[in-house]
Homo-oligomer: A and B are copies of this chain.
Amino acid sequence: MSSNSFGKLLTVTTFGESHGPAIGCVVDGCPPGLAIAPGDFREDLERRATGRSRYTSQRREADEVEILSGVYEGRTTGTPIALVIRNTDARSKDYNELADTFRPGHADYTYWQKYGIRDPRGGGRSSARETTMRVAAAVIAKKWLAERFGVRVRGHLAQIGELVPRTFEWGAVEANPFFWPDAAMVEELESYVNALRKSGDSVGARVTVVADGVPPGWGEPIYGKLDGELASALMSINAVKGVEIGAGFASVAQKGSEHRDEITLDGFLSNHAGGILGGISTGQSVVASIALKPTSSILIPGRSVNLAGEPVEVVTKGRHDPCVGIRATPIAEAMVALVLMDQALRHRAQCGDVGPVSPRIP
């Protein structure tokens, strides 16, 4: 069925393949009056871009956004906003030799089984190229959330392979190509990733996103809960194998007396809940983390099968990231922002100006 739309009231429909003429999206349901200009998209698209540093894939796309509709004289009109980006650096010939091979760990085999037809150019629709449009769409959501509610959505890399930050500073995150919150470790990361690349292997990563300023009351029980929607949004990102809210899997070994976030008139005493209780925001920071698998596009040969049903050996020579998790940071932010804006509209639909009500925990 039609499954390329995301969000209930702010609905983003994406289209396009990695090596097709263009990728794009339609953002439907945005309130009228929001100022949007083509330049607004640049920063986040660059943060996500392949080719941003030596540590990510070397495909270089201009990622120039054209606004085809929904904005008049610099403001949204309430009608659907269509954004298109032309693909300019799609080297399909890189993939020629893999055209008949099912790459392990990729969607080749499953798309083939599902559709009985296959676009082998760079993964086609299953490529992470699609996430460019999520980031573009989320620029609108981030802007609306910030202007209307003062919400700020930020992400950082929280683990790569076995490495975890030893200190944490938001200020450090945007100052290095790894979105790493510990400035002192950047050199170590560079060596790590360079060594990986040389070995022809890849590694997984963990990304954490924090949304500050979310008011209490967002989230739609029972099947549109804030955490439920975050989970599907984040899991839909390429290579994600796990999603956590707040304490996440650490909760398994916690005691109730430790995990519960006690409440005082000065605020909650902790945030194991990640800012969500019963599927509704508490007013604390919303915190979500994801696990990204290591890419299977590596130089180390592996066994596979081709279209003719013959065993083959696969080596992926394309331009790929040794750690796809690095540039997942802005993508994860994007999904969180899109979910939050959707939830804000859903809350307003049913509850209007109800809430926050007294007493309110600061």
- A358 adjacent to B117 (CB under 8 Å): no
Task: Report the stretch among A42-50, A72-80, A174-182 that lies at the interface.
Answer: A72-80
Judge if A54 is at the interface, Cβ distance under 8 Å: no
Quick one: closest B residue to A252, CB to CB?
A: B204
Asked whether A116 and B346 contact (CB < 8 A) given A4-B222, A235-B225, the answer is no
From A33, A106, A223, name the one whose CB has the most chain B CB atoms within 10 angstroms.
A223
In the complex the two chains form, what is the Cα distance from A53 to B308 in whole Å?
A: 54
Asked whether A11 and B2 contact (CB < 8 A) given A291-B249, A349-B345, the answer is yes
Report B-chain residues with C-beta under 8 Å of the C-beta of A354. 31-33, 114-116
Report B-chain residues with C-beta under 8 Å of the C-beta of A70. 15
Task: Report the stretch among A57-65, A185-193, A271-279 that lies at the interface.
Answer: A271-279
- B242 adjacent to A232 (CB under 8 Å): no
- A245 adjacent to B254 (CB under 8 Å): no
Residue from B110, B124, B361 in contact with A79 in the complex, judged by beta carbons closer than 8 Å: B124
- A31 adjacent to B351 (CB under 8 Å): yes
List A276-295 residues whose CB lies under 8 Å from chain B: 276-283, 291-295
- B241 adjacent to A251 (CB under 8 Å): yes
- A255 adjacent to B203 (CB under 8 Å): yes
From A23, A24, A306, name the one whose CB has the most chain B CB atoms within 10 angstroms.
A24
In the complex the two chains form, what is the Cα distance from A2 to B29 in whole Å?
A: 4
- B221 adjacent to A125 (CB under 8 Å): yes
- A280 adjacent to B5 (CB under 8 Å): no
- B107 adjacent to A32 (CB under 8 Å): no
Residue from B107, B265, B356 in contact with A311 in the complex, judged by beta carbons closer than 8 Å: B265
In the complex the two chains form, what is the Cα distance from A232 to B339 in whole Å?
A: 12
- A221 adjacent to B28 (CB under 8 Å): no
List A216-233 residues whose CB lies under 8 Å from chain B: 216-225, 227-233
